[in-house]
Amino acid sequence: MQSYTIGQAARLLGVSPDTARRWADAGRMATHRDDSGRRLIDGRDLAEFSVELARTATAPDEEAPYTSARNAFPGIVTAIKLGDVAAQVDIQAGPHRLVSLLTREAVEELGLEVGMEATARVKSTNVHIDRA
């Protein structure tokens, strides 16, 4: 399973690294240390936290979520529903939940898993996913 540093988690959540550190220090985000002592967040834990965070109001001192001029929403995969042919992939990008309907084959080719970093690209009514 993929793990994220505090800085990576902050970027995916759309907050500053200081905010992510405060959340980890307060026990809001479960972390563990790697062999070199860096604090890491398990991808599944981060996915769960990002969904919960989006459900609650953010504090006024937190930064606005990051989005690019090209409608790219870097985030974390929070759910995958596979059918025989089609699939649904949910990505939490800061406070934004994006849902992409694509083929099961595309999900398998990208190797998408819950907790994995991915970017949702939105054009009109289509949501494309880039694996990070």
pLDDT at 4: 95
Predicted local distance difference test score (pLDDT) of residue 99: 93
Of all helices (H) and strands (E), which one includes residue 9?
A: helix 6-13
Q: Give residues with Cβ within 8 angstroms of 104, minimum separation 6.
A: 82, 83, 84, 85, 86, 87
Regions of the chain short of the pLDDT cut 50 = 58, 60, 64-69
pLDDT at 118 (0 to 100): 93
pLDDT at 21: 92
Q: What is the pLDDT of residue 67?
A: 42
